[in-house]
Structure 1
Amino acid sequence: MYEHLTVVKHPLIQHKLTLMRDETTPTNHFRQLLREISQLLAYEVTRELPMENQRIKTPMQEMDAPVLAGRKLALVSILRAGNGLLDGVLELIPSARVGFVGLYRDEETLEPVQYYFKVPEALEDRLVIAVDPMLATGNSSVAAIDLLKKAGARDIRFMCLLAAPEGVARMKEAHPDVPIITAALDEKLNDKGYIVPGLGDAGDRMFGTK
């Protein structure tokens, strides 16, 4: 349906996502599950990273062995909820450079408002992975990608936990060159712009705020 969208249907991801959707799951478990899912999703996002051979010596002999090529990739968290995904990916790729895009959603207009932007240098030479648990209206995600492209990023991937059809369509319209990797494509948005069936507000559930 959407050629730029990849829904990762791995059983472990789907099981953990169900636990996260459950309204009785406490904050500490929610955070842990999000970190675990982010690591599993990261395998898919980084599947085609460029490689090169490096000469090493094992206890047995010398050999040419594959290592990651080029500049270290950049992970960019769309604050605040993006940090839940960021933490898990960083455990998997601790050498990655890290950036932050601060956006909040105006509850009246549903439009994003920027309040912070700090990213690594030389984005044009790095794979940039933007992370945010929810792709709902797509307005914040599109605004974040706009900022990253203005900062020089050319190879961008967007990783989220849940996506709504409206958000996927909005991203395709604005940034058809940015692949989306997610654990689930849900049914729709409600009249307040929240994903249904969804899991509520990811930031509130992660940090225990209302």
Structure 2
Amino acid sequence: MDAHLTVVDHPLIKHKLTLMRRSTASTQKFRSLLREVAHLLTYEITRDLELTTEEIETPLETMDAPVLAGKKLCFVSILRAGNGLLEGMIQLMPSARVGHIGMYRDPDTLEAVEYYCKMPDDLGGRLVIVVDPMLATGNSAIASIEHLKKIGATNIRFLCLLASPEGVAAMKQAHPDVPVWTAALDERLDDHGYIRPGLGDAGDRMYGTK
């Protein structure tokens, strides 16, 4: 497998993703499933976090127990759809710092346009996980990561629900130092920049908009 790309090949993720892909899934069901899949993906992308130990008292005795080492990591949501994954990730790691970056895709050029950015301090000392449900053309993710690097982030990972081969290739070319985790690598992009077979527009399905 390409070291730049990790497809999280877990039966629970595959099953829940199929439920999300169904056009009949309600907004409520889609949101709930997205949070659940976010939990499972977060387990995988944080599997190698560094640990240290501290002395604690159990009800029976003293022991040296493992705890996370270093500064709190930072989740960065690419608005607006990234917030769906973000909610599930924060439930799993409630002490994580959170940043938001607003991007929209120009319908004519498909290029990403930034309109908002708010980040925690000292990104250079933190693992930064950028989240967006869809890695389609890759333009929004590439532009967001470029901005994060400019303001000091040095240890960045990207997490998405679905990826296209085109988006993965574009990310690898633009940011070969940023590994990608995804629940599925789909077949292709269509002429409108949508992932096929995909699941439609994640933001619209999450928020009930069109």
For residue 123 of structure 1, what is the aligned residue in structure 2?
123
Count how many residue pairs are aligned between Structure 1 and Structure 2. Answer: 210
Matches within 5 A, 1:115-154: 115-154=115-154
User: Aligned equivalents of 2:177 and 2:169: distance in 1?
Assistant: 13
Give the letter for the 1:7 counterpart.
Answer: V
Matches within 5 A, 1:9-20: 9-20=9-20
Deviation at 1:3, TM superposition (A): 2.2
For residue 31 of structure 2, what is the aligned residue in structure 1?
31
Give the fraction of aligned pairs with identical amino acids, expressed as a percent.
Answer: 68
Contiguous gaps of at least 5 residues in structure 1: none
Matches within 5 A, 1:128-207: 128-207=128-207
What secondary structure does 1:183 align onto?
Answer: strand
Which string of whole-angstrom CA distances, capped at 9 and with x for unpartnered residues, describes residues 123-143 of structure 1?
Answer: 000010100000000010000
What secondary structure does 1:146 align onto?
Answer: helix
Deviation at 1:2, TM superposition (A): 2.9
For residue 105 of structure 1, what is the aligned residue in structure 2?
105
User: Aligned equivalents of 2:26 and 2:62: distance in 1?
Assistant: 50
Deviation at 1:201, TM superposition (A): 0.3
The two structures have a TM-score, normalised by structure 2, of: 0.99
The two structures have a TM-score, normalised by structure 1, of: 0.99
User: Aligned equivalents of 1:13 and 1:148: distance in 2?
Assistant: 29
User: Aligned equivalents of 1:3 and 1:9: distance in 2?
Assistant: 15
Root mean square deviation of aligned Cα: 0.6
For residue 83 of structure 1, what is the aligned residue in structure 2?
83
What secondary structure does 1:152 align onto?
Answer: coil
For residue 43 of structure 1, what is the aligned residue in structure 2?
43
Deviant stretches of 4+, over 6 Å: none
Deviation at 1:59, TM superposition (A): 1.1
Which string of whole-angstrom CA distances, capped at 9 and with x for unpartnered residues, describes residues 60-90 of structure 1?
Answer: 1111111000100000000000000000000
What secondary structure does 1:145 align onto?
Answer: helix
User: Aligned equivalents of 1:2 and 1:136: distance in 2?
Assistant: 18
Contiguous gaps of at least 5 residues in structure 2: none
For residue 3 of structure 2, what is the aligned residue in structure 1?
3
Give the letter for the 1:60 counterpart.
Answer: L
